[in-house]
Amino acid sequence: MDMSQRIQRQLSRTGRNPFDFRYIKTRTGLSEVPDAGPCVVLATPGMLQSGVSRQLLERWAPRPENGLIITGYSVEGTIAREINNSMEEIQALKGGKIPLRMMVSNISFSAHVDGAQNCAFIDEIRAPVVILVHGEENTMMRLRANLVDKYKGSNYELAVHAPRRGEAVELHFRGEKTARVLGGLASKVPADGDYVSGILVEKDFSYRLVNMDDLLEFTGIAPVVVEQQQLVPYTSSFELLQLHLEQMFGELPLTTETSNSGVANTLRVYDSVDVTHASWKTHVEIEWESNIMSDMAADSVVAVVLNIESCPASVKLTQGRGCGHSHHSTSGIDETVPAGDGPHSHSHAECTAVAPGLARTNDNHEIATKLALFLQQQFSQVEVADDGSSITVHLNDLSAVIDADSLDIQTESPMLRARVEPLVAQVSRALRPLSHRSVALPEPEPATPLASGPEPEHKGDAGADADDTDSSDDDQTEPPTSANTAASPGHE
């Protein structure tokens, strides 16, 4: 038993039991209770069904100078309840009847409220529904009737239920919920029709709407930032990775770190997703703080990385420093220039050959197909017209139509236009040759095919005039298949 410091000091100083009172003694059995002289015995149980209280009752009941004080509630069917109802004799535990001549009184020490106190409590809180669940059936029914009669005809609508044991009670509540706006959101009173955006917190059947910055102060909930990292297998060069990411997301900030292991380059996409390529690793690390926008950007980056090596043309054009590609002359001879770091027999300005499928073309269907590939990275529903004249983008109930020739966008949604326009602008750059992605590619000019014969005076010019060559063909002009179809020294 815990004791205060004062009692503990008294016990240690005097050695006397602090609970050993002068006029109050603790008894362990009925044999220690004296029959001579006045005394008061506090005994249990209060219902007088058994135990010390029942034994004392049978011993003292016949004598009128003795008294019984019942201090608590008595359940129906117990000896205490029958004594309260003025019985004249009691049944002994060992059999027989014992006359009840002692004085009987009832003083309530119960902690339960009575009918008047219940009514005062109901008036105070104005509860719409009251359910009586404790007490005898007759008493509860009388209290229910009193409550109904008291508030009948008043402005206070009260529903009172007194269900039997095991009986279900259905309660109906309004679906509307009210939330308190706290912190920075409460600095401005919204007008009718305004929207308030924040974090809704439910606690103890109450709702609070707060900003992320006020979450800890008003709710005790600390916000947590989830940092995600994904490793995507990748074995190609960093230049190829940078090329594809910038074609999708535009110019990206670059951070380079050099260590004993090699060089690590990091590109930052939308100022939220870091893409790191280390020269000594066979994967790309993608890191970001998780939220709706960053997760979408990270998914797009993963899709781009996974699709890089599935494009043979881009790999071929970026796999080495030298050209390493075939030059096709008008005579149909495959002229291959070895790749390497040494000098070329022609300038790099001439070396603009583009793999089929990436050069700019006037074929609307090919343009629409390429544009659709880019749009599918951002929108799940993209449709290309059968004739390739247009692309239709669907976003929920919204749609936008893009003309494949002029790249004009037709839509009634400003939001969808704002999302589609940057992608279309990136596609216009992506359709240029990979080696000239930062400079606009001019439209191809008609030129006369070159035939075998004397070499022209203007060597290396891609647009050689027809007067400089002798041709036995008709004077029909065709666009060159690449920028290096003109004759050059040493080429036959």
The pLDDT assigned to 363 comes to: 54
The Cα 171–Cα 61 span in angstroms is: 51
- The Cα-based distances of 312 to 152, 200, 283, 307, 360 in angstroms read 87, 51, 19, 11, 18
What backbone phi and psi angles, to 5 degrees, belong to 456?
-70, 160
Contacts of 133 (CB under 8 A, 6+ apart): 163
The pLDDT assigned to 485 comes to: 37
With 0-12 CB in 10 A as exposed, 13-18 as middle and 19+ as buried, what is 259? exposed
pLDDT band of 450, cuts 50, 70, 90: very low
Which residue type is seen at 415? M
The answer to whether residues 92 and 98 touch, using CB atoms and an 8 Å cutoff, is: yes
The pLDDT assigned to 258 comes to: 92
Evaluate if residue 207 carries a pLDDT over 80.
Answer: yes
The Cα 338–Cα 96 span in angstroms is: 126
| Mean local confidence (pLDDT), 15-23 | 78
The Cα 160–Cα 128 span in angstroms is: 9
The answer to whether residues 382 and 424 touch, using CB atoms and an 8 Å cutoff, is: no
The answer to whether residues 326 and 335 touch, using CB atoms and an 8 Å cutoff, is: yes
pLDDT band of 299, cuts 50, 70, 90: very high
The pLDDT assigned to 267 comes to: 95
The Cα 67–Cα 38 span in angstroms is: 11
Evaluate if residue 203 carries a pLDDT over 50.
Answer: yes
pLDDT digit string, tens, across residues 372-396? 877 877 787 888 888 778 889 888 8
Higher-confidence residue of 211 and 406: namely: 211
pLDDT band of 367, cuts 50, 70, 90: low
The pLDDT assigned to 260 comes to: 92
Tracing tokens 């005039």 back to the chain, one arrives at 465
pLDDT digit string, tens, across residues 170-188? 888 777 788 888 888 888 8
Higher-confidence residue of 29 and 45: namely: 45
Listing DSSP states for 99-128 in one string gives E--SEEEE-----S--HHHHHHHHHHHT-S
| Mean local confidence (pLDDT), 155-168 | 86
What residues are labeled active site? Answer: 112
Evaluate if residue 268 carries a pLDDT over 90.
Answer: yes
Provide the 3-class DSSP secondary structure of residue 202. Answer: strand
**pTM: predicted TM-score of the whole model, two decimal places:** 0.32
